[in-house]
Structure 1
Amino acid sequence: MTITAGPYHQGSRQVQDRVGVRELADHVGRSIGPGIREVAAAFLARQPTLVVGAADAAGRIWASLLTGAPGFVRATGPGRVSVAGGVPDGDPLAEALATPGTPLGTLALDPRTRRRMRLNGVLEPTPRGFAVEAGEVFSNCPKYLQQREPVEVLWDGPGVVRRGGALTPGQARGVRAADTFFIATAAGDGADASHRGGNPGFVEVLSPTELAWPDYAGNAMFLTLGNLVEEPRAGLLFPDWETGRTLQLTGRARTEYGPDGARTVRFTVEGTVESEHPGRLRWSAPDYSPANPPVPHRGRTTT
């Protein structure tokens, strides 16, 4: 998702035109640029986590969670971010984060303040971790962000707990209970990492290999859905805020449009990684976003 003639590629334009928000998207898109402002640099330096999205050597898209003491992510120039450390051993993106030129999407989200910032660019390995040369830097509104406070850091954990090709019953229960997940997508020579939030139950588990969720009204950019128009590969990251455990899914996603204008994204699971790593964070119970729509009652599924 590179910046050529403006911040949007044809996939995003196609969705904007279908929904009828091109003029609004043009206005919002003026906030996208390669520079890291002073306020953005200060925000990054306070964060103990960073979500990253990229493709592995096989071309599968994953979203991964990095953690560290505040300051492990910092701006080192007007368009460059340095990250100390990396993903834990066994993470699907371990190799990609050590490969020069990897297109990388990053998302810094602060549950304490309901603020978030996205920075997409190209990775360069460094002696202490990696750096990202920014192509796109922008902030998003606090819609659908649940507020939480950090509780403690857990320093024990077995690493990767389970790999598979479909959700286990326990993983399915965790997805149904989720109020937050992150989605990584890619198109052209760029990658992006974004956030999705709602009240528990907003993500449906239709089967061990199929999920669905509503695409709530947002900033009108349609970067994620636009990427999916051009490239259906995607990766999901479900954090367990109480234990620090993460569930990563890779697969393919598509958007369905209803006659009333509603949008639903359907995701086919092709791979799963469940992890519990040292240095993971535990967070408090959430204060749900007032923007979250109510979740309709649904029939029981079979997983």
Structure 2
Amino acid sequence: MSPPGRGWALRGRNNFRSREAAPVDARKARREWLALARAIEARGGTVVALPSPSELLTGMPYAAECGQVVARPGATPVFVLPRMMSAHRQAEREHWEALARRMGFEVVGPDVGIWEAHGDVAHFDGATLLFWGGRTTLDGIDAASRWFPGEVVRVQVREPAFHGNMALLPLPAVDRMLVCPEVMSPDSYARLRERFGEHRLLVVTEDEIRRYATNGLPVGRDLLAPSVVPDSIRARVEALGMKVVSLDMGELCEKGGGSSRCLVSRAVVEEGAVRIPDDVRLDAVAKDIEADA
């Protein structure tokens, strides 16, 4: 994760929320970010938080695009760097690369196309889903796919799903996925039905994903979701046996266009496989945000 800086603002405005949004309140955005980070750690996660080295790198809080960790049993995990579409975000890569090397990852990256990393990756039932057609290009996922072992399923999406995490949300704790067929190619949706079974796919609408139905962050049986998520989606998820935890994300999500899932690049690695420098642990970074409050 990467906390918004004190001068955080909307710069690229490259999604359907941010294009017409009012100016953000950076101080409130920092509190929203910290609430999410604390919620993750309260549920057993460990947050690695890299503050942005420049106020110009306003996209860094949306850390789903920072890269993708690929675990390798018995071997050093790989950190796959992104190739970003937006010019104002391309310089983020060097800072995430430096952190990944400090942590002990093997660092690699595609050399062609656009690949926006974790925002276009999902895992379900032993398969890796790679998305293209929003911002990531087909040659981009083809170049990145070499680092994903096992079964890979390619899924084509379209705006307003600018990333795959806007089109599909795995809920592994209850063996279901929220899926929006309206923003997928017919072939891709058919591929999902065939591979995973129609009974495991819970269909949501394009209108519902515009309110971030598929963009919450599952942590065990809790779904950390922005308060803008429709009540109908909350009810469906809770009927499956999960709990929806509502977070105020008026600045980061409702204006900035990125939800709780967009603010995290999630990794599962073996104990001791990487090291976490003290200066990027959450408690160290939180002190600066709490000082503002």
Give me the TM-score of the superposition, normalised by structure 1.
0.27
Q: Name whichever structure is richer in strand by fraction.
A: 1
